[in-house]
Amino acid sequence: MSAKERPEPGVRTPVAKPVPPPGPVLTRRVFILGGFWSSMLLAAVGVLGAPLDFVWPRRRAADFGGELIVPADQVPPPGSEPVRFPTGRFYLSHLSPGQEGSPGGVLAIYQKCTHLGCTVPWRPDFQFQDETGWFRCPCHGSTYTKGAAILVFGPAPRPLDLLDVQVKENGDLVVNTGAITKGSPENPLRAVPYGAAASPGAAPPAAGPRFAADGDTFDLGVVPVGETVERSIEFRNAGDAPLAVSILKVRPAPDAACGCGVEGFRVEPASVPAGGNGRLLFDLKAPEGMESMTDKMVAELESNDPAKPTLTITLIFMMGP
């Protein structure tokens, strides 16, 4: 190189950058192995997903684990069906005196099956041992009684568990869903006195079966013409023994406009436990041409209440368009 071609001092020569080494290469073998293990992972999720979902603890609902207030007007009557409170995960049962050997009172029944933890539904239509209405677990069939959730069938090791219940002065209940007592055959004895049972001075229920209803004349509302509808009248058993009521017949009242419209009648249940409720049911259908008329019928009842072996009630309804 002649002096003329030599770079002048102070002129910088560009510096070559190193080429990075080649990255990992996706070979055919790696590709096949990747596909194999991905398939295995998906299969494992498919097989184990459902069982894991079943046993994995759920996030707590906002109201579960703490105290939940049940207003007095949501406490079911004694002897009636249990009522579910989903956020607290329990059923509220109100036992009448003598029911399942209980002195009477309220129980908050935890809905979790004592076998493997499935949620146990109340099945009002489920028939077992000649009775209708049970708690029945859908997973393996454990079956528990209506009032105190006593185990009568299935693989569960014990009755349903109970939650702590306190009664406030105004009749509201405080259910502590974080205080759980293991279920046992003693469940009926753990019922917390409520209502009349909680008032030591209150009059005890009358001896024997006792029919009680809110009056003897009932407005059944509007009955559409040409359409059969069902109407019901509630009654109670205010006594301390099972009450049987039946409807003998329904006839026109002396001042009836038509004396028609009642197509059928029945009583449910056939036997009402002490402190429980029953219903008189009527199938009504207004005949054509009777629109806007008010009709009046008399139902003749008989019962095993020694004070009311027979009685009548009056039904009033308007035949609508």
Which residues would be at the binding site for ligand FES (CB under 6 A)? 113, 115-116, 118, 137, 139-142, 154-156
- Nearest residue to 138 (alpha-carbon basis) of 54, 195, 58: 54
Phi and psi at 131, nearest 5°, equal: -125, 150
The minimum distance between CB 120 and ligand FES, in angstroms, equals 7
Q: Kindly tell me which of 150 and 313 has the beta carbon lying closer to ligand FES.
A: 150
Residue with Cβ nearer ligand FES (143 or 237): 143
CB 117 → ligand FES: shortest distance, Å? 6
For 43, the enclosing helix (H) or strand (E) is helix 28-55
Residue nearer to ligand FES on the CB measure, 53 or 288: 53
In angstroms, give the least distance from the CB of 25 to ligand FES. Answer: 53
Residues 126 and 177: their CA atoms lie apart, in Å, by 27
Q: Strand (E) positions, 75-216?
A: 83-85, 90-95, 105-110, 122-128, 131-136, 143-144, 151-153, 162-167, 173-181, 211-212
Q: How far is the CB of 305 from ligand FES (least distance, A)?
A: 40
Cβ partners under 8 Å of residue 38, min gap 6: none
Task: State whether residue 198 is helix, strand or coil.
Answer: helix
- The least distance separating ligand FES from the CB of residue 132, rounded to whole angstroms, comes to 20
For ligand FES, give the closer residue by CB, 110 or 194. Answer: 110
Q: Which lies closer to ligand FES via its Cβ, residue 106 or residue 151?
A: 151
For residues 211 and 235, the answer to whether their CB atoms sit within 8 Å is yes
